Structure 1
Amino acid sequence: MVTCKETRAVIIALHKKGFTGKDIAASKIAPKSTIYRIIKNFKERGSIVVKKASGRPRKSSKRQDRLLKLIQLRDRGTTSAELAQEWQQAGVSASARTVRRRLLEDGLVSRRAAKKPLLSRKNIRDRRIFCKRSSGRYGTKATWYKDP
């Protein structure tokens, strides 16, 4: 169970005052197993700071991730494969899948833009007629162009 720094500090403070793990668990701060683990880690390391978890190192740095986001925002229609090639020129050898993951982390979800149909001649004519007919009915010209 992951506990916040404040909770771990309280547990260690109570332990230093002479409370046992069982006594601390009775106060319902955290489960007994968590309390014992926190005390054990404190005795071993002398600190309540959680160690950094091991794992595979990232292919790119935060700076390179920002560069990728910038490249993508310049042209929203670029595919992840094309972005991977551009990113490779910047010095990061990553797959298209990694590019998609990095963009997802930045909140850029790939969606195809909706194709908006062009206005037909009839639509244009009908709009003009509507505007001319209703120019005085719904207020002044300023009302139509006022910012929300």
Structure 2
Amino acid sequence: MPSHKYYSLDLKQKAAAAVIKGKSICKVAATFSIPFASVQRWVTASKSQQPLGVKKKTGRPKKTTTDTDRLIVRTSQANPRLTAHEITAAAFAATVPNVSVRTVRRRLIDAGLNARRPAKKPLMSNKNRISRIHWTKEHKDWTEASWSTVL
């Protein structure tokens, strides 16, 4: 794991601009949830006209983009009964080839959608339907006073 976070160029520029406009480094660091030293380094670099570049990330690049990650999550939320195999077939039929089922599973887990299907609700039996109708016919003329004794 890397020992430091990667911050976007946009975030660096916003933080440096806020300090240059007059906010204190401490307040800017707290606002953006960034270490004090990082904000201080970005302000110094921007004052001396040095570019605030984004460092190259280590490790293998992701096969999916943030848009495709959202597509995976939306597909799963639209139909929670779909398996990872079915999501892979549905979401990536025309867009991104060669995305494994394991990758789709990882993206779902990262989004907090663990591998659990919703429970199927059992159908109501005829006996229960008849008893429910009978109960409603018995209680249809109850007043508010009658119902207040129930609770």
Normalising by structure 1, what TM-score? 0.54
Q: Return the alpha-carbon distance in structure 2 between the equivalents of residues 63 and 11 of structure 1.
A: 33
1:59 and 1:92 in contact (8 A); partners too: no
State the Cα RMSD in Å: 4.1
Cα deviation, 1:110-146, whole Å, max 9, x if unaligned, reads: 431212222223211210111111122258xxxxxxx
Does 1:134 pair with 2:122? no
How many residue pairs get matched? Answer: 127
What is the distance in 2 between the residues matched to 1:74 and 1:39? 45
Other structure's SS at 2:142 match: coil
- Name the residue aligned to 1:92: 97
Match of 2:57 among 36, 54, 58: 54
Q: Which residue of 2 aligns with 1:9?
A: 17
Match of 2:82 among 67, 78, 87: 78
Q: Which amino acid aligns with 1:129?
A: H
Find runs of 4+ consecutive structure 1 residues off by over 6 angstroms.
1-4
Unpaired stretches in structure 1, ≥5 consecutive residues? 15-23, 140-148
**Gaps (5+ residues) in structure 2?**
30-34, 145-151
CA distance in 2, matches of 1:46, 1:82: 49
Larger-Rg structure:
1
| CA pair 93-44 structure 1, distance change in 2 beyond 3 A | farther
